[in-house]
Amino acid sequence: MAQAGEINNGRYLDQLPDKIRDTVGTSVGTDAWGLQRDVFLAGLGELIKSLPAPKVVPADKLKEAQDKYQGAIIKIGEKEKEAAVLKQQIADLEKCKDKDEGNAVARKYSTTQEQFEKLVQSAKNALGKVHQITATALFAEQAGHPCFLVTVNGRSDERSSNSRSREGRGSSFTTFRAHSSFEGADCVARIN
């Protein structure tokens, strides 16, 4: 018996009794089978007509679905590439013996923008640990603007008398002011 056949083909249906006998172990009489086959085939046309017709999908909807499918295939390919890179990065990190080797692996797999952002964050963290006046002086120096410190009260420098801060006079702390030609670089730091 063929593995696949047409349901409206009488010769194909005649092979079924042998398959039923071999599979189930029940025998079907040839006359009874022939009669039931003919009844089935006679009503098959009406049965097929009573089934709902398949819906025809408009061409634009089909194209849209195909485009979405292709987009999904492309996205899956991209994600598989990303996963392969991450797996390689993990393998490289597992080989690292210390922090410096780990940082080298991280740089290897990062973009220039990511490296720059990490450097900027590192600078912010480092500057956050110093006094504001020191950070201002460093910034002004890096920007190419001269910056100098003068004592505003306490042991004052005579050259800076016109820049003394009123808020520090007579206090038990010393106020310093960083002067720079760079706009906004002026700041005050109090040291007890």
42/66 same-domain check: no
**What is the distance between the alpha carbons of residues 172 and 160, in angstroms, rounded to a whole number?**
20
**What is the distance between the alpha carbons of residues 86 and 157, in angstroms, rounded to a whole number?**
60
The answer to the question of residue 141 being in a domain is yes
Class of residue 160 by CB neighbours under 10 A (exposed 0-12, middle 13-18, buried 19+): middle
**What is the distance between the alpha carbons of residues 85 and 100, in angstroms, rounded to a whole number?**
21
**Alpha-carbon dihedral angle through residues 109, 110, 111, 116, given to the nearest 10 degrees:** -150
135/184 same-domain check: yes
44/81 same-domain check: no
The structural domain count of the chain equals 3
Read off the amino acid at residue 116: F
The answer to the question of residue 160 being in a domain is yes
Domain that includes residue 86, residue range: 59-109
Query: Rg (Cα) of the chain, in Å, rounded?
Result: 43
Give 7-36 pLDDT, tens digit per residue: 888 888 888 888 888 888 888 788 888 888
The mean pLDDT of 111-135, rounded to a whole number, is 85
Flag whether pLDDT at 167 surpasses 50: no
40/84 same-domain check: no
* C-alpha atoms less than 13 angstroms from C-alpha of 80 in its C-beta half-sphere: 6
The answer to the question of residue 3 being in a domain is no
The answer to the question of residue 118 being in a domain is no
68/88 same-domain check: yes
Give 40-75 pLDDT, tens digit per residue: 999 998 998 899 988 888 999 999 999 999 999 999
The answer to the question of residue 1 being in a domain is no
31/78 same-domain check: no
64/97 same-domain check: yes
Q: For the whole model, what pTM was predicted?
A: 0.34
Q: What are phi and psi of 119, to 5 degrees?
A: -65, -45
Which residues sit opposite 151 in a β-bridge?
Answer: 176
Closest by alpha carbon to 122, among 101, 137, 143, 107?
Answer: 107
* DSSP H stretches of helix in 57-111: 59-94, 99-108
160/184 same-domain check: yes
43/63 same-domain check: no
14/43 same-domain check: yes
157/186 same-domain check: yes
64/46 same-domain check: no
The answer to the question of residue 94 being in a domain is yes
Give 78-113 pLDDT, tens digit per residue: 999 999 999 998 898 889 888 888 888 888 888 889
